[in-house]
Copies of this chain bind each other. A is one copy, B any other.
Amino acid sequence: MSQTAGARQLQRLKTRRALLDAALALLEEQSLGSLGLREVARAAGVAPTAFYRHFRDIEDLGIALVDEALENLHATVRSTLATSGDAEQRMSTAVELMAALVRAYPAHIRFIVRERHGGVRRVREAVTGQLDAFAREVAENLALDPLGAGWSRDDLLMLAKLYVDHMVMTASAFLAAALEDNEWDAVSRTALRQLRLIHAGRVHWTPAGPAAGA
């Protein structure tokens, strides 16, 4: 059946991977919209027509990359949420997990950050849709926390969005930092302090309304 290895399927997957990897490499210095089908095929070492055996067009390939990239990201989000310990520990492991993810899959992360606001509609919607789903997942998790007691569903979601946005911006900052420099640590520290500040706001938040000061 289709489950067993099969030298045919194996070669097929290999070519598909070559196309995806070639695209990721090219996307380091351009955006999906300006990526050419022939360009990708050439970089992957296959004929242009072979591209069609795997993807309808570049947009289709883009969506495959979104799925791939956000699978990794989702794993990191879940690991972050599953972390136990006090707030300080959880925040620092969150930053560390993000740093590890960027180190492991820089091209994927760059792709997500870029195409989140990119020029290809369907891909952009795929990314934002997934990030929204992450926000909802985070919100559900926040609801379980004692700190979330008394918060409205809406407030939990707005906090979750803040966390998700911060996560993406941190990823972007890691990408911008030179890989070997101490810039990397600076990004870590800044991200961590921002998380602490948001956390402090969360602790002292008055869910009711604006005019309920200390």
Contact = CB atoms under 8 A, between A and B. Distances in A.
Nearest to A210: B88
A109 to B, nearest CB: 11
Interface string A176-192: 10000000000000100
Of the four ranges (under 10, 10 to 19, 20 to 34, 35 or more), the interface on chain A belongs to: 35 or more
Most buried by B among A158, A166, A203: A158
Nearest to A157: B190
Interface in A113-166: 113-114, 116-121, 128, 154-155, 158-159, 161-162, 165-166
A201 interface: yes
B117 A155 contact: no
A196 B205 CA distance: 8
Interface stretch (A30-38, A45-53, A66-74): A30-38
A29 B121 CA distance: 7
